[in-house]
Amino acid sequence: MLSDAACRSAKPAEKPYKLADGGGLYLFITPAGGKLWRADYRHNGKRRTASFGSYPAVSLATARKAREDLKGQLSAQVDPAQVKRSERRARQALAANNFEKIAREWFAAKAQSWLPRYGQRVMDRLEADVFPPLGRLPITEIEPPDVLEALRKVEARGALEIAKRDMQMIGQIFRFAIASGRAKRDPTQDLRGALKSPKRVEHRRALPHGDLPGFLRALEAYDGEPMTKHALKLMVLTFVRTGELRAARWAEFEGLDGPEPLWRIPAARMKMRFEHLVPIAPQVVAVLQDLRPLAGRNPHLFPSPGKEGFMSNNTMLFAMYRMGYHGRATVHGFRGMASTWLNEAGYNPDWIERQLAHDERNEVRGAYNSAQYLAGRRQMMRDWADFLDRAVAAA
């Protein structure tokens, strides 16, 4: 029988040779110095050789245990070669279903409905936060502590909200794997309450209603860039999202000379990827008519020589700073101000939510609701514009 000392001291020779341990097990010494554990056996009358790895990575004791397992399989009339092939296929299947592979499949399926810049943010978070600790692991072997350890690293850099979003994203990937039969459960379900709570978010400040007349008068007196002034007017009148206004195109406006003008914002430019219809009040048409000569033949309402080709993200905000509203209000806050007034005035909450283009969780309902309540919303938007006119007159 062999000893560890004999295994360690074995030297290569000109030709390969064997150091027998008994029971068919031996250490095969190659001319290059390799030391390989092998065992000869017979199955169904045929001579075969099993490999157990190399020494010292596989110790003498481990090799002997493998030999005994081999004997047990032969006694049970099981083909050791078939067992090894099955184990190899199982390992390959696990490797093929690692977390990163399935996550990229999930991303490809979802990204078609996302704005490109949002999809890029999702992939950036996967590659930075999730793939390094979890990507190579078979998805069936990932347990709640594995996910929590990955998220703790995100928390450690102070990104508590990102950690929360990462967990939601990981959960979506697991549910995708469950639906395709490659996972049995979602480990993030066991992590509810385990993450640190982010600090309370301070929402973008809305202008108090009492300050609205003064703001509108200040806007009328604004002596900065005229295009910026018109953008702020449209922002107050339509209360769309800032990005939806900045990138607006003339081709999106319909019937400006008719009784029911409309702004049709395509799904590709909307946060939730649904087309959004904005009924236009006469006051909005008047602003657009004033703006048209300033834009010239450019397809955008607010052309700019910058990279995007239209007004930058901070242009309107800096204009509000110049008007004396630094820290008092934000451009986005006009959405909240309009929502508050409309709700207090008793308008149908469904009209208001649709006009704000809030999230539609159901795709079919969201597509249908792009036009739903249009008649009621049209009157509501005219009433809002008339209220703003009265506010200016009151000031």
Q: Which residue from 61, 36, 62 is spatially nearest to 50, judged by alpha carbons?
A: 36
* Residue 246 appears among annotated catalytic residues: no
From the candidates 182, 246, 276, 332, give the one annotated as an active-site residue. 332
Element of type H or E holding 392: helix 374-394
* Residue 46 appears among annotated catalytic residues: no
* Residue 271 appears among annotated catalytic residues: yes
Q: Which residue from 173, 179, 88 is spatially nearest to 134, judged by alpha carbons?
A: 173
From the candidates 136, 358, 365, 390, give the one annotated as an active-site residue. 358
From the candidates 104, 217, 264, 271, give the one annotated as an active-site residue. 271
From the candidates 136, 322, 365, 368, give the one annotated as an active-site residue. 368
Element of type H or E holding 50: strand 46-54
* Residue 203 appears among annotated catalytic residues: no
Task: Please give, one letter per residue, the 3-state secondary structure of the chain.
Answer: CCCHHHHHHCCCCCCCEEEEEECCEEEEECCCCCEEEEEEEEECCEEEEEEEEECCCCCHHHHHHHHHHHHHHHHCCCCHHHHHHHHHHHHHHHHHCEHHHHHHHHHHHHHCCCCHHHHHHHHHHHHHHHHHHHCCCEHHHCCHHHHHHHHHHHHHCCCHHHHHHHHHHHHHHHHHHHHCCCCCCCHHHHHCCCCCCCCCCCCCCCCCHHHHHHHHHHHHCCCCCHHHHHHHHHHHHHCCCHHHHHCCEHHHEECCCCCCCEEEECHHHCCCCCCEEEECCHHHHHHHHHHHHHHCCCCECCECCCCCCECCCCHHHHHHHHCCCCCCCCCCHHHHHHHHHHHHCCCCHHHHHHHCCCCCCCHHHHHHHCCCCHHHHHHHHHHHHHHHHHHHHHC
Kindly list the distances between the CA atom of residue 353 and the CA atoms of 294, 370, 372, in Å, as whole numbers in the listed order.
Answer: 33, 11, 11
From the candidates 35, 335, 354, 378, give the one annotated as an active-site residue. 335
What CA–CA distance (Å, rounded) separates 131 from 136? Answer: 7
* Residue 43 appears among annotated catalytic residues: no
Strand 46-54 with 262-265, pairing: unpaired
* Residue 358 appears among annotated catalytic residues: yes
Residues serving a catalytic function are 241, 271, 332, 335, 358, 368
